[in-house]
Amino acid sequence: MATISALGIGSGILNSDLVDQLAEAERKPTELRLDRREVEAEAKLSALGKIQSAVTELRLPARQLSDPDALRRFEGTSSNPAVGVSVDNDNVSRGSFSVNVDQVAEAQALATGSFQDRDSTAVGTGTLTFQVGEESKTITLDDSNNTLSGLAAAINEGNFGVSASVLDTGNGFRMVMSSNETGVANEIRITAEGDADLQRFGTENLGEQGSFLTESTAAKDALVRINGIDVVRSSNTIDGVIDGVTFTANEVTTSAARVDITQDVAGATERVQNLVDAFNALQDLVNEFTAFDAEKGEGSLLTGDSAVRNTMTQIRRDLGQVVPGLENSAVRSLADVGISTNFETGKLDFSVSRFQEQLKNHPDDVAALFSNQGRTSDNQVEFVRGTVNTKPGEFDINVESMATRGTFTGDPAQANIDLNESNNTFSLSLNGGNNAELNLGVGEGLSREDVLERIREQIAENPVIQASGNRVTVNLDANGGFEFTSRKFGSESSVAITKVGDNTADVLGLSKGQGEVGKDVVGTIDGKTAQGDGQVLFLGSGNGDASGIQVRITGGETGDRGTVRYLEGVGNSVVQRVNNLQGEGGTLSSRSDSLRNDMARVEQSRQDLETRINALRERLSRQFAAADSIISRLNNTGDFLSQQLEALAPNRKK
């Protein structure tokens, strides 16, 4: 078979150039059409990608607003830097307070007498037992560490709440021992057992004339007055006085500091503005890519695109809806808080003054407008939260048994109590936590009420209890026994007496043992068995529309406890809408997939075109080769005849 390179030998016309020209003429129209399709699909995909990104940008501000605390955050301000303030949004409410700091908490520091040398002069041999709060540690001094430096190192390595430093005063060396925690409860007590030199380190004679140890800094509790009420704390962090508010005593005040707890209106406004700005940025892109020039009769890349149109319709529906459950409220839709649509541009206008007015006047309704929220018909039932599985609706609540607290009740205490070292100490554990040792001191002829006050004071000042966050109340029961009740509810709530003195049981009625453990609430939500966690009832997933909902039963009776109405605000609606639009099978993702499929079909069409053109070239080559062969033979025949005729020509002349 003849090849393309051999074409045209016979004819001089049917050559490979002619094949190329004919193939190109066949290719060109289809190739131009495919180029146009590819460019259009790429441009549309790029434009749609920008719109998708802008839709995604709606999710963050919408999610932030779906948090119930987003529009109900509070901030604390103090008129005097001597008093700091922080707030816990879960428990705080608006208010103003007058705060005086009469004394700031300080950590105790003890200084030794002077030594000639820090590394060679002996400090004594024996043992030093340090007691700091609930921490106790015994250090042994012998030939290996019987120096000022050795003692300081042993204290620092002991990690029991005391730091030691050796100071060069210029007239000798002195060691300073400082408590790591502030407050009187964290004073350093040292018991020395050993030779005469070491006996000097005991604190039993601290403050007396000639004492080897001096108190360079006295331990002090923080003393503050909040609205005229005296408050004492071992640290300068004052919490537990006002729900959700923590004060910090930075220095003594000469005049009262005014502390204001106010709603963070500016922050709430900014979060709503972010949602409005995100939507308007999306609308700008949509306007750009769907515009139509009536004079020219030309549209933009996505003019008339159903996916874009449906996307904006759905988002606008979410933003413009009256939130189910708020139909009879003062605030029902975004229009009620100053957010309206500009019909010329399609963008949102935001009246900040209107929004802030509504937020101040109707904070609960404004919060419900944007965030997921629950409203209960029983004032002793609190809505806690819902999840992505919870659907808007109203659900019945029924309580079968209430949550209880862990308690420990001792036997009746003696009516006339003499406290001494054999009966005045005991340790307790709250909610399975660390042991806290209480020392009630000594005293004679004390009543049960007197001892009760000592127990309460010890608990209020105990660093282990304060650090744990666990709380306990103590009262006398009807029989005269001390009754300890954890403030926590549920199966993790407990009080245990873990250690007692030799005669504590006989005098105070307190014996080592575990009290009655608390119980979780039991009940149903929407007719389905709920799980209990303390006072909280909740439904897990797979329980219908009420799945994921949580309510706290704070009091009341068992039985029917009314309903909880779950409201889904605009914020969550927009988040879910974005997820649906962008997710698998969503309007935008499907449209993007369709454009990518168009581009894939264009590529396949290019491959098909190339195959067809190659086939055409082969066919033309075969046809041209055959024709060229015939022409070549005819040319050869013509040449032969011409030669024969020329050979006959001389004979004719004769």
Digit-coded pLDDT (tens) for 67-92 = 877 787 888 999 999 999 998 877 77
More confident residue, 502 or 48: 502
51-90: buried (b, 16+ CB within 10 Å) or exposed (e) per residue? bbebbbbbbebbbbbbbbebbbbbbbebebebbbbebeee
- Give the relative orientation of helices 352-361 and 265-290 as an angle to the nearest 10 degrees: 140
pLDDT digits (tens, 9 = 90+) for 250-269: 999 999 999 998 888 998 99
What is the C-alpha separation between 286 and 462, in angstroms, rounded?
A: 64
Cβ 107 vs Cβ 217: under 8 Å: yes
Give me the mean pLDDT over the 311-329 stretch. Answer: 89
In the chain, what's the furthest Cα-to-Cα distance? 176
* pTM recorded for the entire structure: 0.63
Domain boundaries of the chain, sorted by first residue:
4-56+586-653, 74-105+222-263, 109-217, 266-373, 375-403+521-567, 405-514
Q: How far is CA 357 from the centre of its chain?
A: 29
| C-beta separation of 419 from 508 below 8 A | no
**Helix extents (H) in 470-563:** 504-508
Give me the DSSP letters along 331-348: --SGGGGTEEE-TTT-PE
**Partner residues linked to 179 by β-bridges:** 162
The string of pLDDT tens digits covering residues 163-217 is 999 999 999 999 999 999 999 989 999 999 999 999 999 998 888 877 899 999 9
Reported as a single tens digit per residue, the pLDDT across 371-384 is 888 889 999 999 98
H or E element at residue 261: strand 257-263
Average pLDDT over residues 290-316: 85
Would you say 192 and 209 are in contact if contact means Cβ atoms under 8 Å apart? no
| pLDDT greater than 90 at residue 568 | no
| Residue written as token pair 């413009």 | 320
Spatial separation of the C-alpha atoms in residues 535 and 541, rounded to whole Å: 20
pLDDT tens-digit map of 408-463: 999 999 999 999 999 999 999 999 988 999 999 999 999 999 999 999 999 988 88
**Average model confidence (pLDDT) across the chain:** 88
